[in-house]
Amino acid sequence: MRRFALIAVPYLWLLVLFLVPFVIVLKISLSDVALARPPYMPQLDLSTGWEGLKAFFAELDFENFTFLTTDDLYWKAYLSSLKIAAISTLLTLAVGYPIAYGMARAAPEWRPTLLMLVILPFWTSFLIRVYSWMGILSTEGVLNTVLLKIGIISEPLMIMNTPTAVYIGIVYTYLPFMVLPIYSALEKMDESLIEAAEDLGCSKLAAFWLVTWPLSKNGIVAGSFLVFIPALGEFVIPSLLGGSGTLMIGKVLWEEFFNNRDWPVASAVAVILLLILIVPIVLFQRNEQKAREAEG
């Protein structure tokens, strides 16, 4: 009996507050907009019994999804989200790998401190970390002021409100997600393997490419998914740094919902985003499982 309660409480909580809401999103994505509260129809009216249920299902249709294909704003937003997420994942890898490598090769007594220095920004507000770049990248920002004073540029750079600013924002805020899994893969690595490769005639670079890189692969894959998946649905970074020129699907969903108050279309946007995300999420979980099996 106690065992039943132990399982039932968290189970029911997640069913009601996580799974059921998705069913509702799916249902509303098949509904029509209405000038009512809530602003969609049909409403399920259980008091009319079976007939009401049949009428309810008869009124559901794929109209919102057809609408998404006719207006090229939406598929452009999906494509540009995919592109931005992919490029920023690669950039985060390029920035994060050397940091993780440096940490893993630092003296063991330094490692806990370095680890804490990487985690610390993760505990500080995400919103504030994005905001800190607004003061740096804007036309009268710190970066332009410094570069103009040194004389590297004669005209202020327009970085704010461009995709470049979004890339910088994503790399900056998601960097710990990339560094930590790569670090934990590199830290476990046996350094004598590199020495062996060098003794056998490898150059430093070849030893890195043939030994270190493959051994850190699980960390690279895990980190890349941890950056790519949330970046795809990102809302805060494109709205603060990207301006009106950057199209990302998280922002489109937000505006569809809050500005246009078109709940059915917002729901349809969410359903498709979820469908796109299923592939990377499944791949990510497979990678995690593989890593766990390799360890155990």
Partner 1 sequence: MRRFSWFNATSLTLGFAFLYLPMILLVIYSFNESRLVTVWAGFSTKWYGELFRDQEFLDAAWVTVKVAVFSSTLATILGTMAAYVLVRAGRFLGRTLFSGMIYAPLVMPEVITGLSLLLLFIGIGLDRGVFTIVLAHTTFSMCYVSVVVSSRLSSFDRSLEEAALDLGCSAFEAFRLVTLPIIAPAVISGWLLAFTLSLDDLVIASFTTGPSATTLPIKIFSAVRLGVSPQINALSTILIAIVTIGVITTSIITKRASQAQARDEQAAIRAED
Candidates 52-60, 62-70, 213-221, 274-282: pick the segment binding partner 1 (CB under 8 A). 274-282
One-letter amino acid at 54 equals K
CA distances (Å), 294 to each of 47, 99, 152, in order? 56, 25, 50
> Scanning residues 50 to 89, which ones bind partner 1 (CB under 8 A)?
none
What is the nearest approach in angstroms of partner 1 to the Cβ of residue 107?
Answer: 7
| Preceding amide of 264 cis, omega within 30 | no
Which of 71/195 has CB closer to partner 1? 195
In angstroms, what is the minimal distance from the CB of 50 to partner 1? 21
Query: Is residue 9 near partner 1 by the rule CB under 8 A?
Result: yes
Q: Which of 185, 197, 220, 266 binds partner 1 (CB under 8 A)?
A: 266
Strand pairing of 40-41 and 32-33? antiparallel
Q: Which of 36, 46, 58, 107 forms a contact with partner 1 (CB under 8 A)? A: 107
Token readout for 285 is 């979980």
- What is the footprint of partner 1 within residues 157-176 (CB under 8 A)? 172, 175
Interface pick for partner 1 out of 32, 82, 111, 129 (rule CB under 8 A): 129
* Residue of 240, 285, 275, 291 lying closest to 82 (CA atoms): 275
What amino acid occupies position 164? T
153 binds partner 1 (CB under 8 A): no
Asked if 282 is part of the footprint of partner 1 (rule: CB under 8 A), the reply reads no
**Amino acid letter, 8:** A
Q: How far apart are alpha carbons 197 and 223 in whole angstroms?
A: 27
By C-beta, is 55 or 142 nearer to partner 1? Answer: 142
Q: Which of 69, 124, 260, 289 lies at the binding interface for partner 1 (CB under 8 A)?
A: 124
Residue 215 C-beta: closest distance to partner 1, Å: 15
Segments in 141-212 forming alpha helices (H): 142-150, 163-188, 192-199, 204-207
Residue from 83, 191, 217, 260 that binds partner 1 (CB under 8 A)?
Answer: 191
Among the listed residues 118, 147, 157, 210, the single contact to partner 1 using CB under 8 A = 118
* From 178, 186, 273, 291, residue interacting with partner 1 (rule: CB under 8 A): 273
Other residues' Cβ atoms within 10 Å of the Cβ of residue 123 = 8
CA angle at 98 for the pair 93 and 100, rounded to the nearest 5°: 85
Nearer to partner 1, 73 or 127 (CB): 127
Nearer to partner 1, 68 or 253 (CB): 253
Measure the N-to-C terminal CA separation of the chain; round to a whole number of Å: 33
Longest dimension (CA), the chain: 82
Q: Which residues contact 291 (CB under 8 A, 6 or more apart)?
A: 218, 222
**Cα three-residue angle 51-271-224, rounded to 5 degrees:** 155
Answer for which of 263, 268, 287, 291 binds partner 1 (CB under 8 A) is 263
Min CB(25)–partner 1 separation in Å? 5
Stretch that binds partner 1, among 18-26, 46-54, 56-64, 182-190 (CB under 8 A): 18-26
Q: Which of 55/106 has CB closer to partner 1?
A: 106
Whether the bond between 98 and the residue before it is cis, its omega within 30 degrees of 0, is no
